Chain A
Amino acid sequence: MRVDSFRFLPRSFRPLYEHVEAPEGDMPWAAFEPRLAGATVALLTSAGLHLEGVQPPFDLDRERREPTWGDPSWRSIPAGVSSGELGMCHLHVNSADVLADHNVALPTDRLAELVSEGVVGATAPQHVSVMGYQERSLDGWRTRTLPEVLDLLRGEAADGVVLAPV
């Protein structure tokens, strides 16, 4: 069975995605060295999650004023977070299901269960949320978010990251 990438996409959007080419250059490859049962795993979502009342929300007002811009900042989400602590900032998807159960986008509880069962060695103490709608150049992500997120992941000794765009 092969996933139909366009099953839920409005037909008028298809031309935007149908002729995607891989970037130039070799695919980067970081071999996963440890056994999973001894590894630390981090999660990354593009759902625009933030700790409500603690972290600033992503800037949706500016996106409304400048529709080709998306907030390139990021938030660290603690591994023990509960759904009620999270807000979601994303103008391109319905947020109801993620707000009801953040594991739909950032499965921290599922990862914690796998750790307690010995399948995964450890969860990273902090996971990452970005907001997935970005200006075409991706300059904000490349020049600021990426170095900061790499610092976090290295500081946590993350062996691998599960990324899940929304």
Chain B
Amino acid sequence: MLARWIEAAGISTVTVTMMPDVAVAAPRVVGVEFPFGHPFGLPGDVALQRRVLTTALTLLAGASAPGTRVDIDVEWPVPLRDAYRSWQPAEPSPIVAAMLARMRGEG
């Protein structure tokens, strides 16, 4: 929604997102199939970070219609099983902990 509000105020935006199917409100969208917490890639991976940013800037400057979406065709270079675990916080977030407690009948 921040992208939508900033755009409505007259400043162009592009959103890099791991969930492009959910970012339906954003005027320009770059989809990346990366784990949460890593919109531009891995630490120290200058080439990948640069590729994501330049794609976003190309879309920012060149998209001709609202709702334009481009997906970056890069496979996350860490095995899925490891990446799936490692992006998650060490402790469940408070809302997730509360949901789990409710499911267990504690809430």
Chain A CB within 10 A, most for which of B5, B13, B39: B39
Q: Are A97 and B43 in contact (CB under 8 A)?
A: yes
Partner of B46, one of A30, A94, A110: A110
Interface residues on chain B, size class: 35 or more
Q: Which residue of A lies closest to B5 (CB)?
A: A146
Chain A residue at minimum C-beta to C-beta distance from B75: A1
Nearest chain A CB to B47 CB, angstrom units = 10
What are 28 residue pairs bridging A and B, where the CB atoms are less than 8 Å apart in the complex?
Answer: A1-B73, A20-B22, A28-B7, A29-B27, A30-B13, A30-B27, A47-B37, A67-B97, A92-B89, A92-B93, A94-B86, A94-B88, A94-B89, A98-B37, A100-B44, A104-B37, A104-B42, A107-B53, A111-B53, A114-B50, A114-B53, A114-B57, A119-B57, A146-B6, A162-B14, A163-B3, A166-B36, A166-B37
9 pairs of A and B residues whose beta carbons are closest in the complex = A101-B43, A93-B37, A67-B94, A3-B31, A28-B8, A27-B66, A164-B39, A5-B19, A160-B12
5 additional A-B residue pairs with CB within 8 Å, beyond A5-B22, A93-B87, A104-B38: A28-B7, A92-B89, A110-B46, A120-B57, A159-B12
